[in-house]
Amino acid sequence: MAKKERLKVRQQAAAERTKNFDEVPFGYDDSEAADEASRCLQCKNPTCIEGCPVNINIKEFIRQLSAGDKAGAIKTIKQSNSLPAVCGRVCPQETQCEAKCVLLKTGQPINIGALERYAADWEAANLKTEAPKIKPVTGADGKQIKVAIAGSGPAGLTVAGELAKLGYKAVIFEALHLAGGVLVYGIPEFRLPKAIVKREVEYLKLLGVEIETNVLVGKSYTIDDLFADGFSAVFIGVGAGTPSFMNIPGENYKGVYSSNEFLTRMNLLKAYKFPEYDTPVKLGKKVAVVGAGNVAMDAARVSKRFKGVEEVHIIYRRSDKEMPARREEIEHAKEEGIIMDLLTNPVQVLADENGFVSAIKCVKMTLCEPDASGRCSVKAIAGSEFTIEVDNVIPALGTKANELLTTNVKGLKLNRRGYIEADPETGETSIPGIFAGGDISTGAATVIAAMGAGKKSAAAIDRYLKKNISA
């Protein structure tokens, strides 16, 4: 039985945080972290580790925190995870490591995510980060063996970090001007400060990872170009960045943004600081976000903070129970005054005489019996059409694979949805020496799932190079 109740993380009050883009949770202080760590039962069979996609030794790092060994705790975490400050903030621990905690049966699982964040932030504030001494892995020519990584999102960063620790020269090619992928263009500042991402990227550079920005693999260089330039293996981790739309009349009117464009402008290009940053976004007083995943919550909560916006709606065709976003994000959105239009489906975007969005026409839905997957289907209620006056509509309905790279690699097998067919345990594709992982092979998933795929791929690349490259 737990010694105490799970310690909640202090956070900004809703009325205050909607006026700024500062991080919402404050994180634990020293005494809070020690108290929460002391609740851990130090199970003989720590099932929490099984729930972690990158297999952090959770039992050990929490034991170290409980004993006051903060330096030891972060060292233990970094043996398995090179991005702990990121994971501690955005990973869905409630469905992974914490879901395996034996204290879940009491309703009081250890707050593993908050403790991981605490250890990472403590390191940043108190220690000078130093890279471990690594012996380079060289080929028959005496040169360090190189691996190219397309994309600097969670999967690419993880592959690069793991390979660098093994002694390979990992070189990341990133299409945008900053490394981080979805961590910098997709997740808002108030959930993941960009300074945190930059800090984690700098640690990878200390390990010897090279990052070339403004390079679009598939356009700037082909995969064949990379092999010709001396790379012995290639990892494709370009994510799934092509937006999905509603396919209803009017979605090309002025004032409709895809969630990809909207969040990239706001997060990467800092449109919320316009005119300090030269990236405008035109939002009116009322905004509707269509969808109910984490991206939808991000778009709605960013909109709520934007100057001049008075009302934000989430439009979702199912009920609260079926919303796919993290429960924490849903509750935060509700606390911030986001209006939830549930069992509601958009059927048309309306505009004024100048082509600017003026409203969204919707129909009420009803839940039907669950299908074979256990999910309830929905159907429209005849005669239930109504309109919501809005100035902007932001579809947040998921993403698809970007075809620029994938369709230009001869012999690379894709599935029917356009994603790369890759072994889920190794990342191996249909072409020897080419590996893939993260959203480009699975479709949109979580940051930690992409990192888990990256870690498995790094191990497989190591095995491949040892077997096929003279070292």
What pLDDT digit, counting tens, does each position of 63-73 carry?
A: 999 999 999 99
Backbone angles phi, psi at 63, to 5 degrees: -60, -40
- With bands split at pLDDT 50, 70 and 90, how would you rate the model's confidence at 2? very low
CA separation for the pair 295, 116 (Å, rounded): 23
pLDDT for res 262: 97
Mean pLDDT of 285-311: 97
Give the DSSP per-residue string, 347-393. EEEEE-TTSBEEEEEEEEEEEEEE-TTSPEEEEEPTT--EEEE-SEE
Q: Does pLDDT of 3 surpass 70?
A: no
Residue type, 39: R
Helix (H/G/I), strand (E/B), else coil: 58: helix
CA separation for the pair 161, 81 (Å, rounded): 9
Task: Tally Cβ neighbours within 10 Å of residue 277.
Answer: 12
What pLDDT digit, counting tens, does each position of 394-437 carry?
A: 999 988 888 888 888 999 999 999 999 999 999 999 999 999 99
The sign one gets for the Cα dihedral 276, 278, 283, 288 is negative
DSSP state of 108: -
- With bands split at pLDDT 50, 70 and 90, how would you rate the model's confidence at 128? confident
- With bands split at pLDDT 50, 70 and 90, how would you rate the model's confidence at 471? very low
Domains of the chain, each with CATH number or no CATH: 14-126 (1.10.1060.10), 146-241+401-468 (3.50.50.60), 244-398 (3.50.50.60)
What pLDDT digit, counting tens, does each position of 347-374 carry?
A: 999 999 999 999 999 999 999 877 777 7
| Mean pLDDT, the chain, whole residue set | 94
- With bands split at pLDDT 50, 70 and 90, how would you rate the model's confidence at 1? very low
Q: Does pLDDT of 60 surpass 50?
A: yes
How many alpha carbons lie under 13 Å from residue 33 in its C-beta half-sphere?
26
pLDDT for res 470: 61
pLDDT for res 430: 97
Q: Does pLDDT of 179 surpass 60?
A: yes
What pLDDT digit, counting tens, does each position of 253-262 carry?
A: 999 999 999 9
Closest CA to 304 of 350, 342, 272: 272
